[in-house]
């Protein structure tokens, strides 16, 4: 008997991060093509993430009720249409509207993927499964600026062909029904989502992407402003973020199983803070690359942490819990350009370095929780991923 086909879940997981950052390395080219300025064209990141984040407040629970497999197929098909509209956009407003639709389509995909993986994975292997899902997301984030940068050498609009073709393939070759079926009994409820574990997942998720998206956007700007890199060079810098996470994703998953989500979250946020400062203040393109690489590893570990916290916080409504954590993540990502770009424009080095405030805040939250847990009795072992 053959093993069930699971790989489409992981492949589809790459498309959300791919879409969120695919324009960061081609902002200048898109601005010229649309007859606008780069700072306005960079709004394509926010235009994608805002509907993505807003719809995720409800998409997971609704999609659990409507059926996982059906919603994944419909969302992937809609993303193909959104990519087509991006390539045909005649002006900035049309382009931003198409990007908003692109973000909305993925709101009904990613949380269902996390829920399906959690339901179909033995608990003792959940950390590694989440590590590999984080690897898929890292791969999406790694290759989006690289593919987009290469496409921009011909025409920046061609960058949207690759995610559209991937979505077509995943509609044609979906995961086996046995993998996407919902395991929990009873109707998914909103009340199951009110718990402290999920609140922590949302806080870490928000702060992680507030820093990570700020890094990807500002690294692309600094690559050109400080070091004169073209679209392909900017793509390589952006790709290092995801490639590093992809290579170390299995190690991150094993670390999650060993240390538990809170301790791994603290380690990852400390690493993220270091990477942000190196990328912001390093006097060479090599150090910028090193900082982006460090941050890529940290964000992959944090994705694994957040997915595990969220998906295990509400067994009766896994997709709803995952969608709330992902909503917080992409609200952070949507806010990032609005917050960091003005600071960078005013003072590039200090403005870029200010992104370190996000992981420092996360470390403060985790430190406070550790102090409270130390005073309590019967605290579970830190290496355990609790059901």
The predicted model gives 2-19 an average pLDDT of 81
pLDDT value of residue 2: 61
Query: What mean pLDDT is reported for the chain?
Result: 85
The predicted model gives 255-261 an average pLDDT of 88
pLDDT value of residue 387: 43
Lowest mean pLDDT among 73-87, 275-289, 303-317: 303-317
- pLDDT for 140 beyond 60: yes
- pLDDT for 12 beyond 90: no
Give 23-58 pLDDT, tens digit per residue. 877 888 888 888 888 878 878 888 887 888 788 888
Element (H, E) at 173: none
| Pairwise pLDDT comparison (227 vs 10), residue with the higher score | 227
| Pairwise pLDDT comparison (167 vs 189), residue with the higher score | 167
Read off φ and ψ for residue 183, nearest 5 degrees: -90, -30
The predicted model gives 135-141 an average pLDDT of 77
Residue 365 tokens read as 């939250």
Instruction: Tell me the pLDDT band of 249, cut-offs 50, 70 and 90.
Output: confident
Percent of the chain surpassing pLDDT 90: 33
pLDDT value of residue 383: 46
Instruction: Tell me the pLDDT band of 14, cut-offs 50, 70 and 90.
Output: confident
> What DSSP character marks residue 376?
S
Percent of the chain surpassing pLDDT 70: 95
Task: Confirm if 38 and 70 have CB atoms less than 8 A apart.
Answer: no
DSSP 46-104: HHHHHHHHHHHHHHHHHHHHH-HHHHHHHHHHHHHHHHHHHHH--SHHHHHHHHHHHHH
Give 89-114 pLDDT, tens digit per residue. 999 999 999 999 998 888 888 788 88
Contacts of 356 (CB under 8 A, 6+ apart): 211, 273, 276, 277, 280
Q: Please tell me the pTM assigned to this model.
A: 0.75
- pLDDT for 245 beyond 90: no
pLDDT value of residue 185: 61
DSSP 178-240: HHHS----S---SGGG-SHHHHHHHHHHHHHHHHHHHHHHHHHHHHHHHH---HHHHHHHHHH
The predicted model gives 132-145 an average pLDDT of 78
Give 149-175 pLDDT, tens digit per residue. 888 888 889 999 989 999 999 888 888
Instruction: Tell me the pLDDT band of 184, cut-offs 50, 70 and 90.
Output: low
pLDDT value of residue 319: 80
Residue 173 buriedness (CB in 10 A; 0-12 / 13-18 / 19+): exposed
| Pairwise pLDDT comparison (333 vs 362), residue with the higher score | 362
| Pairwise pLDDT comparison (130 vs 73), residue with the higher score | 73
Task: Confirm if 320 and 112 have CB atoms less than 8 A apart.
Answer: no
The predicted model gives 83-91 an average pLDDT of 93
The count of other CB atoms within 10 Å of the CB of residue 201 is 29
Q: If we measure between CA atoms, which residue out of 206, 373, 358, 180 comes closest to residue 280?
A: 358
pLDDT value of residue 290: 95
């Amino acid at each position: 008997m053959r093993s069930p086909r699971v790989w489409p879940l992981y492949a589809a997981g790459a498309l959300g991060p791919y879409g969120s950052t695919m324009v960061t390395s081609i902002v200048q080219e898109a601005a010229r093509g649309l007859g606008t300025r780069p700072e306005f064209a960079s709004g394509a990141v926010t235009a994608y993430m805002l509907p993505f984040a807003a719809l995720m407040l409800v998409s997971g629970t609704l999609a659990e009720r409507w059926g996982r497999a059906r919603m994944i197929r419909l969302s992937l098909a809609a993303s193909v249409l959104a990519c087509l509209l991006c390539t045909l956009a005649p002006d900035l407003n049309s382009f931003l509207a198409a990007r908003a639709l692109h973000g909305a389509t993925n709101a009904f995909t990613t949380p269902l993927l996390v829920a399906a993986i959690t339901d179909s994975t033995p608990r003792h292997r959940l950390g590694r499964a989440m590590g590999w899902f984080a690897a898929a997301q890292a791969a999406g984030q790694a290759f989006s600026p690289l593919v987009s940068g290469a496409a921009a050498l011909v025409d920046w609009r061609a960058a949207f062909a690759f995610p559209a073709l991937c979505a077509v393939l995943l509609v044609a070759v979906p995961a086996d029904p046995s993998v996407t079926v919902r395991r929990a009994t009873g109707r998914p409820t909103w009340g199951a989502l009110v718990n402290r574990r999920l609140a922590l997942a949302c806080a870490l998720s928000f702060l992680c992407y507030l820093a990570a998206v700020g890094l990807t956007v500002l690294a692309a700007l600094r690559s050109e402003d400080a070091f004169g890199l073209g679209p392909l060079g900017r793509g390589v810098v952006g790709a290092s973020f995801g490639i590093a996470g992809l290579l170390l994703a299995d190690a991150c998953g094993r670390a999650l199983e060993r240390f538990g989500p809170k301790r791994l979250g603290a380690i990852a946020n400390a690493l993220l803070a270091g990477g942000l400062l190196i990328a912001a203040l390093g006097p060479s393109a090599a150090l910028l690359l090193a900082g982006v690489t460090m941050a890529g590893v940290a964000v992959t570990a944090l994705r694994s942490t957040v997915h595990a916290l969220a998906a295990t916080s509400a067994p009766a409504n896994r997709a709803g819990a995952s969608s709330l954590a992902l909503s917080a993540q992409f609200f952070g990502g949507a806010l990032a350009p609005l917050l960091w770009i003005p600071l960078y424009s005013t003072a590039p080095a200090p403005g870029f370095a200010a992104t370190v405030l996000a992981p420092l805040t996360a470390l403060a939250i985790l430190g406070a929780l550790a102090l409270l847990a130390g005073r309590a009795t019967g605290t579970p072992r830190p290496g355990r991923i609790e059901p």
